[in-house]
């Protein structure tokens, strides 16, 4: 196990072989990686463990540069384990480069059905037994999708949990993918309205860019294509605390003068690619809608829910907006089939994505009856104006988990844990301990 010393912390690598299918423990195994972080000078001490579950799905855990942000607050009380959930980071990867080793698209889709929250939780339990011991519990901090995983953990393996902290990640226990996006589009529209109220000049800029891309989709530096729908997908930024400002600065110098008239600048295209490419997290696109699949809620596949439900909200029709005087609206955390045509990191996985979208009978991820009798202390931050996770669903789930204490705040957006310099985590720690 390699050990490294960074400013203020000691970091230790851990790699654990786990079954691809936990129902077949003697079958094929993959590797899951995790990084242990402890405050310098306390690495030999006895500290409770805190497992961090990252948002996503499909994002690797944070890479610590030292003692800063929420991690600094966590290290006051815990030995922290940053998990690269299966398929991400240094765990056995699942990308356009590696998935063809599984075989054809059907084989790839069958492989990826084991990469949802239920399998992630079982991986966590194997790590707990290895690092903490069969008879000891650990704490869990779940951000966004990591909070979804934490609720799955409470549903199926609460015996391993000492306490649970959740930020922006209380899922709808009985919400289908259709329900999720039917609630999401009005929130996204509200974020658009707030952005254009803050930066009214952006309405014309967005229309100019949209009109240009409608007629002339632009090539991106990685070989991808910036189409009008892809441009609208930049609205995912609006769900973060500084996202509206970042988007504004991206838009303000979108055009430069070319020999034949205005063209989209290389700077704009490069920045747009950085926000749109799934090269670093292809599982996010492949499994995002599947993360809502539960057979007891809907036996059908998710069937590109965000794309289908978008048709119920004509305000997001950019062509119609350009034909009149309505603003061209951005979308948000929505995955669409065209992404597998325009993004080189996803294009080879188009058929695999289609099979996952049509897959039926996804196993349930939550056990409402068990959650109603929960005995694990839980505290959750619910962001009042969260664009990514529906507040109504979150509060209903909070009421459904016995003993859960909720902090509702409009001080932060979905990224409150990351940007609050430890204040969000400190509040949850004090809440779960009964100090507030």
Do 190 and 328 fall into the same domain? yes
The catalytically annotated residue of 91, 119, 139, 144 is 144
* Segments in 328-436 forming alpha helices (H): 339-342, 350-358, 368-372, 391-400, 416-419, 423-432
Q: What is residue 377's predicted lDDT score, i.e. its pLDDT?
A: 98
Q: Among 358, 377, 404, which residue terminates a domain?
A: 358
Q: Is the pLDDT of residue 318 over 90?
A: yes
Judgement on whether residues 307 and 415 belong to the same structural domain of the protein: no
Determine which one of 386, 390, 393, 415 is catalytic.
386
Nearest to 22 by CA among 138, 151, 157: 157
Same domain, 101 and 192: no
Structure tokens at 71: 């991690």
C-alpha neighbours within 13 Å on the C-beta side of residue 151: 33
- Residues 98 and 143 grouped into a single domain: yes
Range of the domain at 188: 177-358
Tell me, what's the pLDDT at 342? 97
Task: Say yes or no: 210 and 270 in one domain.
Answer: yes
384 carries an active-site annotation? no
The pLDDT confidence band at residue 339, using thresholds 50, 70 and 90, is very high
- φ/ψ of 409, rounded to 5, equals -140, 145
User: Which CATH number goes with the domain that contains 55?
Assistant: 3.40.50.1820
Residues 113 and 137 in one domain: yes
Asked if residue 142 has pLDDT above 80, the reply is yes
Domain count, the chain: 2
Q: What is the pLDDT of residues 71-89, one digit of tens each?
A: 999 999 999 999 999 999 9
pLDDT at 387 over 90: yes
Please compute the mean of the pLDDT values over residues 86-99 and round it to a whole number: 98
Which of 195, 212, 336, 414 is an active site residue? Answer: 414
User: Of 329, 358, 387, which one is at a domain's C-terminal end?
Assistant: 358
Stretch 384-393: mean pLDDT, rounded?
A: 95
Average pLDDT value for the chain: 97
Same domain, 161 and 182: no
Three-class SS state of 71: helix
- Summarize pLDDT for 28-65 with one digit per residue, the tens: 999 999 999 999 999 888 999 999 999 999 999 999 99
The whole-number pLDDT of residue 436 equals 86
Known catalytic residue at 410: no
1, pLDDT greater than 80: no
Report the pLDDT averaged over residues 363-376. Answer: 98
Q: Which residues contact 434 (CB under 8 A, 6 or more apart)?
A: none
- How far apart are the C-alpha atoms of 161 and 308, rounded to whole Å? 38
Query: Does 401 share its domain with 293?
Result: no
Cα distance between residue 223 and residue 243, in whole Å: 26
Identify the three-state secondary structure at position 11: strand
Q: How confident is the model at residue 2 (pLDDT cuts 50, 70, 90)?
A: confident
């Amino acid at each position: 196990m390699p050990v490294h010393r960074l400013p203020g912390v000691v970091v230790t690598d851990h790699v654990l072989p786990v079954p691809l299918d936990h129902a077949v423990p003697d079958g094929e195994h993959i590797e899951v990686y995790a990084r242990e972080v402890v405050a310098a000078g306390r690495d030999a001490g006895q500290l409770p463990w805190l497992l961090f579950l990252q948002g996503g799905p499909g994002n690797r855990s944070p890479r610590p540069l030292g003692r800063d942000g929420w991690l600094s607050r966590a290290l006051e009380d815990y030995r922290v384990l940053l998990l690269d959930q299966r398929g991400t980071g240094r765990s056995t990867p699942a990308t356009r480069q590696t998935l063809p080793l599984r075989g054809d698209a059907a084989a790839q889709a069958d492989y990826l059905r084991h990469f949802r929250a239920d399998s992630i939780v079982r991986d966590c339990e194997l790590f707990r037994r290895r690092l903490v011991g069969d008879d000891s519990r650990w704490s869990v901090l779940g951000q966004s999708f990591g909070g979804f995983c934490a609720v799955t953990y409470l549903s199926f393996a609460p015996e391993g949990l000492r306490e649970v902290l959740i930020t922006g990640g209380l899922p709808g226990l009985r919400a289908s993918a259709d329900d999720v996006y039917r609630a999401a589009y009005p929130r996204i529209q509200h974020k658009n309205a707030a952005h254009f109220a803050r930066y009214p000049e952006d309405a014309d800029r967005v229309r100019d860019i949209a009109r240009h891309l409608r007629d002339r989709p632009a090539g991106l530096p990685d070989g991808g294509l910036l189409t009008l729908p892809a441009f609208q997908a930049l609205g995912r930024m609006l769900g973060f605390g500084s996202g509206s400002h970042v988007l504004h600065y991206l838009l303000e110098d979108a055009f430069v003068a070319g020999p034949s008239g205005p063209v989209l600048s290389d700077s704009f295209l490069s920045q747009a690619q950085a926000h749109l490419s799934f090269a670093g997290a292809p599982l996010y696109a492949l499994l995002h809608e599947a993360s809502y699949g539960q057979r007891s809620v809907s036996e059908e596949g998710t069937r590109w829910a965000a794309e289908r439900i978008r048709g119920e909200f004509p305000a997001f029709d950019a062509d119609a907006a350009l034909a009149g005087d309505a603003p061209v609206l951005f979308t948000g955390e929505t995955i669409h089939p065209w992404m597998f045509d325009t993004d080189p990191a996803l294009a080879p996985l188009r058929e695999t994505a289609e099979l996952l979208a049509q897959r039926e009978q996804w196993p349930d991820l939550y056990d409402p009856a068990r959650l109603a009798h929960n005995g694990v202390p839980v505290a959750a931050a619910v962001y009042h104006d969260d664009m990514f996770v529906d507040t109504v669903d979150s509060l209903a789930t909070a009421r459904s988990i016995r003993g859960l204490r909720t902090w509702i705040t409009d001080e932060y957006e979905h990224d409150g844990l990351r940007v609050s310099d430890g204040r969000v985590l400190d509040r949850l720690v004090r809440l779960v301990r009964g100090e507030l």
